[in-house]
Amino acid sequence: MSIKGAGFTNQPATDWTNSINGSVLPETVGGISVNVNHQPVVVEYVSPTQVNVLLPSNVATGIADVDLFTPNGVLTSTVELDAIAPGLFTYPLNGQTYPASVFAAPTEIYVAPAGALPGYNSRPAAPGDVIELYATGCGLTNPPAPDGVLLTTFYQAANLAAFQVTIAGKAASVLFAGIVSPGLWQINVQIPAGLIGGNQPLVLSVNGIASQPNVTLACLGG
């Protein structure tokens, strides 16, 4: 979850990289901490205008109190928490919003228009390709992923059938879904046939709940 505002800190942006004690993730970064329903949560990133936190699996759904403790004072607000609220990790490029996506390992090729990412290899996705999407808020795993620690293995979705991905309205086969890093879901999908080349709308749904709109995937026709 990202908390956005202004004046949170006078220090440059920083994250939990230098604050991890063994495998335990920090509840304070750069002098900033956050409570949700009076429960301390893991802080991933802080800047003067944004704080990212990792919500634990045991936090109750519904309207929750959020207390943000900063060197410049305490801010209080509320947030609605749902059991499932899928959100794709994305980036803007040339007026489009693309998913943070790579072709399935062992490649290091990004799914994007060819040459669009300076310093990185990229190409559009073709029918039959397997790509990796990254998301958060996709629900439970089986077994449950532990809270507040670095992960040493991945944790598969409790119900893979609950995941659907469409590209230009066509269903893509979901081959894998699971948590691979704290708060980070990986979803492997196979590109369907019959697509028109160009930027095509991509939607991830979990139990019928859709990810954010206006995400497009660079595709080759076929």
Tokens of 137: 């808020």
Helix segments in 82-167, DSSP class H: none
Domain stops at, among 62, 81, 100: 81
The reply to whether 66 and 110 lie within a common domain is no
**Do 74 and 141 belong together in one domain?**
no
Q: Looking at the structure, do residues 115 and 77 belong to the same domain, yes or no? A: no
Q: The pTM is what?
A: 0.94
CATH of the domain at 140: 2.60.40
The answer on 40 and 20 residing in a single domain is: yes
**DSSP track, 1-21:** -EEE-S-S-SSPPEEGGGG-B
Per-residue pLDDT, 206: 98
Residues 208 and 103 in one domain: yes
Same-domain status, 188 and 211 = yes
Radius of gyration of the chain (CA): 19
The domain boundary, picked from 81, 110, 134, lies at 81
Q: Output the tens digit of pLDDT for each of the chain's 222 residues.
A: 999 999 999 999 999 998 898 899 999 999 999 999 999 999 999 999 999 999 999 899 999 999 999 999 999 999 999 999 999 999 999 999 999 999 998 888 999 999 999 999 999 999 999 999 999 999 999 999 999 999 999 999 999 999 999 999 999 999 999 999 999 999 999 999 999 999 999 999 999 999 999 999 999 987
Residues 41 and 132 in one domain: no
Q: Do residue 124 and residue 71 come from a single domain?
A: no
Strand partners of residue 69:
33, 74
Q: Range of 70's domain?
A: 2-81
Given this model, what pLDDT does residue 28 score?
97
Q: Which of 48, 81, 114 is the last residue of a domain?
A: 81
Contact present, 218 and 125 (Cβ < 8 Å):
yes
Total count of domains within the chain: 2
Task: Write down the pLDDT at residue 114.
Answer: 93
Question: Within this chain, do residues 130 and 156 fall inside the same structural domain, yes or no?
Answer: yes
* Token pair in block for residue 13: 């942006």
**Same domain (yes/no): 101, 203:** yes
Contact partners, residue 196, CB within 8 Å, separation at least 6: 168, 219, 221
Q: What is the pLDDT of residue 22?
A: 86
